[in-house]
Each structure stands twice: as C-alpha cells, then as structure tokens.
Structure 1
Amino acid sequence: MPEWIEVIIRSISIIFGLFFITKLLGKKQLSKLSFFEYITGITVGDIAGTLSMDIELNLVNGISSILIWSLVPIVISIFSLKSKGFRDIVEGKATTFIQDGKILEGNMRKEKYSADELLEQLRKKDIFQVSDVEFAILETNGELSVLLKQEKQQVKWEDILHKKVKYYERPITIISDGTFLENTIYEAGYSLEWVREKLQSRKKDVKDVFLGQIDSSGEIFLDFYHDHLEIKNKKEKENG
C-alpha cells in the first residue's frame, strides 16, 4: 500500500476516534479548560498528529496511548464530583483579586498576575477604573469574573419599580456537594449551628444539598440533589 494512502487512512481513523473521545468527555472539554485538561488536550493532539503522519509507529500502541490519556480525565472528573477536596487539588481554587474596590496584591503575586494583566482583563469587560469594581475573582479556568459596585451597575426594573437601591454583596457559598464549608461560614459571620437550624426548618439534611449560598441579607438559597424529581412528582399528583 502506498504511504500516502496509509497516511490518509490513519488520519481519517484518528479524526473519527478523537470525535468519539470528545463526545465521551462531554461539553465541559469544549469550554474553558482546567490545568490538567489543558495538558491532556495538548498531549492527545500531539500523539494523534504524530500517529497519523509517522507510518513507522505502531497504530495499536498509539491508539492505546490516546485512550489512556483520554480516560484519565474522565476518572478524575468522577472523583471530583464526589469530593470537593479532590476537586480543589486537581482544579485549584478561585482567587480574589479585588475586594471592596481594593486590589489584593498578595493574591495576585501568588497567581503570577501583574497589574497590567489585571487592567487588560478589566478593559476587555469595558471596565477602565478599578474603583468601580466591588469584587474581581480569577476562576480556576483562568477567567476573570467581575462584579461592579451597585451604583455602577445597569439599572434593573426592580430598582425602578421599588425606587430604592440596596447595597449588594456577592453571595457566599456555604454548602457544596453535601458538605459544610465551615471556614467560609465562620468568615462570613455565621455559625454552623445557625446553618443547621435553617436546614432543619426546611426538614433537610446537609447531605441533601448540592449547593447552598447566603446573600447579604442573610437569606439562604439551597439547591437540592433531587429537587427536579420533587417537581416532577408534584406535577404528576396534580395531573392525577
């Protein structure tokens, strides 16, 4: 068989193989990548490109290598969903760069982030003055999330209707994956007992909660693991 035909067959086979692997990994791989996912993507791409062009390489060994590199992220994502501690190790934690309009230089140094880079990211979001920012957080995928101060935000219908503007702080996550984030709860000025009482008043246990947040007014938002099932059951009862 001529070499160019073998290269074509290898390339087409690998393209379909990578398409299948991408579908298997899920849509998360198409969005912003974590450090590990970034490394995996580069390595798989490099192996696939080399394997399609170098006919002297063993095709079976190359495909086996691609499969191993592709399956590892799937295994890691499964463990990450089950353990926040493991997820923090693999994906890292979000880092606050600006709080109450003030730049936290220590946090920026930890992330090897310069003032010019911070200003560039703010300008991309049409923000040219640091003092207009209430919070700016570097997410684990490298994206900078920004919350403007209340007076700098666009006016909402509720502000016009109620004719009042109240100070807004970012919501604080106090429960994640059925586990209390004790340090965050205490840092926010609340106690673990107080949060437990709130759960008991709703006849829920912390293990039932997928995500729990508290806003500046002390209101708790809870998203439960099986809340969609409860909604479905209610509709079935109404129809029955």
Structure 2
Amino acid sequence: MTSDPIAVTGASGALGRRVVDRLLLLVPPRRIVAVVRDPDKAADLAARGVQVRHGDYDQPATLDRAFAGAGTVLLISSPELDTARRLAQHRNVTAAAIGADLLVYTSFLGADRPGPGVTEAHHATEAAIRATGRPHVFLRNPFYTDAFVHSGLRTAAEAGELTSGTAGRTLNTATRTDLAGAAATVLTTPGHEGRAYDLTGPLWTFPELAEVLAAHFQTPISYREQPPPGPMSYLHHLAATGALEQQTSDLETLLGRKPTTIADLVAAL
C-alpha cells in the first residue's frame, strides 16, 4: 500500500463515519480524505486532522477535486433507490477516481448475479468498474444488523413479546461497525486487489433474539410470527424465503476476529 491519501465518500453517513473512525486508529489523520456533500456536517472530522472535501455524486466536477492526489478511493454506494440514478452516480465516482491506484466499492451480497431488485445497481456498478481495467475490490455487504437489533427492542422486552415475519429462518446480517472495520482493513493493507468479498455476520434468528433479550432484561419474552408494517416487511419476507442464509468467513478473515453477535450488540445497546 502507498502512503497516498485514502478518500472515503459518504464520510458523514452512518457507515462512512465509522470507516473514518477506524482509519484514524490505523493511519495519520492527514492521510484521510472525508468526501461529503456538506462539509459542515464533518467539522468534527476536520478538527481531528482529517481532510474534509466537498464531493457530490451528482456533480462530477466536485468529485474530481475531492479525489485529487488520492491513492485509494472507497466508494460507499449511494442511498438513492432509483436504479438508473444510482448507477449514474456510481459511474460519476468511478470516472472521477481514474487517477487512484485502487477503487474499493461497497457492493451488496448477490451482486455477482444479474437480476432486478436490490442488487441490480450493484451488479451494474461492479461491471462498470471491471470494464475500466483498474485495480479494484468489491465489498459485498449484507443487510445491517443495526436495522433489526436496536434500542427500540426495549419495547418488546417491556411487552414480553417479540414478533417478526421471518418464519424463524436465519439472517446473515452484520453490524455497520464490523463492515467498517473490514473496509478499513482493505484500505490499509496489501493483497486485496481483484478480490470480491462476500461479507456475512453470524447467522441468527428472531426466536434466538427473544432468548437473548429475555436473558439480558431478566424477564420472560415470547416469540410470535407477525410481519411488521412498513418497509421492514420486505426484509422480513426475504428472510422468510431463506434469501439471507448465505454465510462465508470473509468478514471474520478481514476483521481478524469473530464478527459481532446479536448478544454482543444487545449488551452494547
């Protein structure tokens, strides 16, 4: 790895900020470039010695300036839901990062296969990056454990019941903190060029989560099948079909330790 700056896009977001926090433990602050749409939201990073630069996925000129001198660029995928616009944004970043020695992209599990749905833009982005011929790494992230295991579960503990629409099937989610740690490893150590890592955490189920909550709060908590309302119903449906049961050792390998379990996360929360 070179000593050139490491640029992290979306550095003020939930994942990007964690990546920067981890990098600050591994490299001098001056080597880190936090690329953000609103520099004011990263003032605390600037105060820690990080280079904060304006970069907007929809404004290629800002990206050219943001990546100036960077040896490695981490493209954290856009939160945009429209596939065409999301792909266009990713292409803007890829084009602007032409001078970097390595482009790392946070993709998604299953992006190696074509098809509609959540992986469509990721699959196309991976293809676009490969087509450039430049050194790259794909970090195929799973859904975040944080979306399922959070402080709101205290309500379930108080009610004595946890529900889900997952049919008791296993989920391969991982915490943002663990995924950020894996990204930081790739950004700061050699030997990853050309790799695609399928990152998964320890498999867990909602019935198991009910047991963890019961032990933590020292109160009986039962489990019942009932799909949640709103957007989370889609994720629960995916789990119920077995779509979230793939597991690899890639995340553990990059972290150099076992990934965070739901029991660890409940205790931390």
Alignment TM-score > 0.5, same fold: no
Structure number, greater radius of gyration: 1
The structure with higher relative contact order (CA 8 Å, sep 6+) is 2
TM-score, normalised by the number of residues in structure 2 = 0.24
TM-score, length-scaled by structure 1: 0.26
